[in-house]
Chains A and B, each alone.
Chain A
Amino acid sequence: MHGTSVVVGVGESTYYRAGRAPESEFQLACIAIRNAVADAGLQMSEIDGFVTYMDFQRNDALRLMTALGTGDLSFSAMSWPGGGNISAMPIQIADAAITAGYAKNIVVYRALAQGQFGRYGRPPAVPYATGAAAFKTPYGEASPAMNNAMPFTRYMHEYGVTHEATCNLSLASYAHAQRNPRAIRYGQPLTREDYYASRWIVYPYRLFDCAQENDGAAAMVISSADRARDLKQQPVYVKSAAAGAEQRAGLQATYNEPYFPYARRLHVADRLWSQAGIGPKDVQVAQFYENFTGSTVMCISDMGFAPPDGIEEFLSNGNIQWPNGKLPINTSGANLAEAYIHGFENQLEAVRQVRGQSTSQVENVEFSLAVGGPGAPVGSAALYSKQA
């Protein structure tokens, strides 16, 4: 059944530093969706579904369909639980809905204005912590950076991984952002010396290991292959999409999962590759969500590109940098240097790579991978292809 749904349109708002967007978060969502629908060559009245993640009912399907003037709403859903880690899960949901025939043209989107609703890196102090947080926050574990750092300290210890791995990932994103006028870090190159001179946020993460905090929105339209044939853009097939977690993965909330310190994407990798009938070696370009570089290093390994004790070498020697790298990674600049739209901007970049529209375009892309977030126990990944 895979390969029956197609990404027909992509679009985004202008990306801003947190607090700099003149538009509201909802308006940013509408702008991104309008751009994606126009990119597809569809009419807004043909949109009949919405899928997103971690939206907290701020930009819900009913409000969007009303404001945008879509046709009747036939399908709406939200993936859970998590944030960037599930940024490919709405692709899976839309693929399922299109394949089942529940809707014809589904908008998948993420709007996030941290400047308007609170910066992720600055959670306010609270008098009491409940649930799993009761076992963490009283000890000062009070930010996503701290939460994502704990597995990576152990991973470095077990597998001999050093900060060269995280540095190379950060340098690749910044290098690619210098070619991408959408990127917030466009015109702000980063050197190895800059990386190592940057201040600690939480050991083992320096400043340039951490994603930005931004205002913006990104959207795509997913339709059936039949519908895609007479639309504006070259069809980009959803070859495979996988999401989920290993047994008892919820123990990760307090680092008690059996497979700690892995980034926990093994189940998703198995599903993704077996459904597609291809493997990591068949992919020409990849996007990996990077809330924090260490989580991403583990995730790249878990997706099958290199074993943990070989991941540092895999990321070295320009191997992940366009144009000469064997596997260019995060070719738009991604969350570190393009914009932090919770990983969804990476999904758009993966589609552009299949179309031949990236600002760091890889040649002859047949398969383009976009992996949702590490750092939380539910993972997600989408594989896009030129052919059905």
Chain B
Amino acid sequence: MSYMPDGWTLPALDDLNRPFFTTGKLMLQHCVDCDRVQHPPEDICIWCQGDHLDYVEARGTGDVYSYVVPHHPPNEKLTTRVPYNIILVRLDDYPHVRILGNQIDAEFDEVTIGTPVRVTFEEIADQNGGATILLPQWVKA
């Protein structure tokens, strides 16, 4: 059971985001040339413009840096899901990186800025037959 409804939008997997969405680890893109981490992933390093990038696993802890609570459904797939929370997590080990997610153990009105959170993963089958997604999500640490 995932936080968002069955059949909701999945990430379109590509070479840049596959480690983030399919490994069950919080993988961030890392520059081999300058040793810095960037998010979201890009074709080249935005810090040193190097062409050699790989991925590193982040610790997977952080705090709620900001959040919003959608109440009005923009389309029919969300009509029975609202209200829900969307949080922006600032990572402890890479504080310049912020990752969007849902705090899946909190109701829509239970989210507060500063809450320590840790990553967890939702296994979501692609109804169209694509690769299974292991979607990074967040619970109270």
Chain B 110-126 per-residue mask, 1 if CB under 8 angstroms from chain A, else 0: 00010000000000000
Chain B 56-88 per-residue mask, 1 if CB under 8 angstroms from chain A, else 0: 000000000111111110111110010110101
Q: Is A248 engaged at the interface, CB distance under 8 Å to the other chain?
A: yes
Q: Which of B88-130 contact A (CB under 8 A)?
A: 88, 96-102, 113, 128
The answer to whether B98 and A255 touch across the interface, beta carbons within 8 angstroms, is: yes
Q: How far is the CB of B11 from chain A (nearest CB, A)?
A: 4
Q: How far is the CB of A197 from chain B (nearest CB, A)?
A: 14
Which residues in B have their C-beta under 8 angstroms from that of A129? 9-12
Q: Is B135 engaged at the interface, CB distance under 8 Å to the other chain?
A: yes
Q: Is B50 engaged at the interface, CB distance under 8 Å to the other chain?
A: no
Nearest residue (CB) in A for B47 is A248
The answer to whether A142 and B98 touch across the interface, beta carbons within 8 angstroms, is: no
Which residues in A have their C-beta under 8 angstroms from that of B39? 254, 256
The answer to whether B17 and A128 touch across the interface, beta carbons within 8 angstroms, is: no
Q: How far is the CB of A70 from chain B (nearest CB, A)?
A: 39
How far is B98's CA from A154's CA once the two chains are assembled, in angstroms?
13
The answer to whether A256 and B97 touch across the interface, beta carbons within 8 angstroms, is: yes
The answer to whether A121 and B74 touch across the interface, beta carbons within 8 angstroms, is: yes
Q: Which of A21-41 contact B (CB under 8 A)?
A: none
Knowing A125-B77, A253-B40, the reply to whether A136 touches B72 (Cβ < 8 A) is no
Q: Is A277 engaged at the interface, CB distance under 8 Å to the other chain?
A: no
How far is B69's CA from A201's CA once the two chains are assembled, in angstroms?
8
Q: Is B4 engaged at the interface, CB distance under 8 Å to the other chain?
A: yes
Which residues in A have their C-beta under 8 angstroms from that of B113? 153-154, 157
Of the listed stretches A97-105, A143-151, A219-227, A279-287, name the one at the interface; the rest are far from the partner chain: A143-151
The answer to whether B102 and A139 touch across the interface, beta carbons within 8 angstroms, is: yes
How far is B27's CA from A79's CA once the two chains are assembled, in angstroms?
36
How far is B67's CA from A151's CA once the two chains are assembled, in angstroms?
9
**What is the interface size of chain A, counting residues whose CB is below 8 A from a CB of the partner?**
44
How far is B20's CA from A154's CA once the two chains are assembled, in angstroms?
25
Q: Is A137 engaged at the interface, CB distance under 8 Å to the other chain?
A: yes
A-B pairs with beta carbons under 8 A, tally: 133
Nearest residue (CB) in B for A144 is B74
Q: How far is the CB of A370 from chain B (nearest CB, A)?
A: 28
Chain B 1-40 per-residue mask, 1 if CB under 8 angstroms from chain A, else 0: 0011000111110100100110000000000000000011
Q: Which of B40-62 contact A (CB under 8 A)?
A: 40, 46
Which residues in B have their C-beta under 8 angstroms from that of A201? 70-72
Instruction: Name B71's contact: one of A132, A142, A200, A261 (CB within 8 Å).
Output: A200
Knowing A126-B9, A128-B10, A154-B113, the reply to whether A256 touches B98 (Cβ < 8 A) is yes
The answer to whether B66 and A142 touch across the interface, beta carbons within 8 angstroms, is: no
The answer to whether B9 and A142 touch across the interface, beta carbons within 8 angstroms, is: yes
Q: How far is the CB of B23 from chain A (nearest CB, A)?
A: 15
Nearest residue (CB) in A for B114 is A157
Q: How far is the CB of A262 from chain B (nearest CB, A)?
A: 13
How far is B114's CA from A157's CA once the two chains are assembled, in angstroms?
10
The answer to whether B86 and A140 touch across the interface, beta carbons within 8 angstroms, is: yes
Which residues in B have their C-beta under 8 angstroms from that of A121? 72, 74
How far is B50's CA from A382's CA once the two chains are assembled, in angstroms?
37
Which residues in A have their C-beta under 8 angstroms from that of B97? 256
Q: How far is the CB of A333 from chain B (nearest CB, A)?
A: 23
Which residues in B have their C-beta under 8 angstroms from that of A132? 40
Which residues in B have their C-beta under 8 angstroms from that of A123? 74-75
Beyond the given A153-B66, A202-B71, could you list 17 further A-B residue pairs with CB under 8 A, ordered by the A residue number?
A121-B72, A135-B40, A138-B133, A140-B78, A142-B9, A150-B86, A199-B71, A199-B72, A200-B69, A201-B71, A201-B72, A202-B69, A203-B68, A204-B68, A254-B40, A254-B98, A255-B66
Closest 9 A-B residue pairs measured CB to CB? A154-B66, A134-B11, A203-B69, A128-B12, A200-B71, A143-B74, A125-B77, A149-B68, A201-B72
Q: Which residues of B line the A interface, CB within 8 A? A: 3-4, 8-12, 14, 17, 20-21, 39-40, 46, 65-72, 74-78, 81, 83-84, 86, 88, 96-102, 113, 128, 133, 135
25 residue pairs A–B, Cβ–Cβ below 8 Å? A122-B74, A122-B75, A123-B75, A125-B75, A125-B77, A128-B9, A128-B11, A128-B12, A129-B12, A135-B100, A139-B3, A139-B100, A140-B3, A140-B8, A141-B86, A142-B78, A143-B74, A150-B67, A150-B68, A150-B86, A150-B88, A201-B71, A202-B70, A203-B69, A258-B96
Q: Which residues of A line the B interface, CB within 8 A? A: 121-130, 132, 134-143, 145-146, 149-151, 153-154, 157, 199-204, 248, 251, 253-256, 258, 260-261
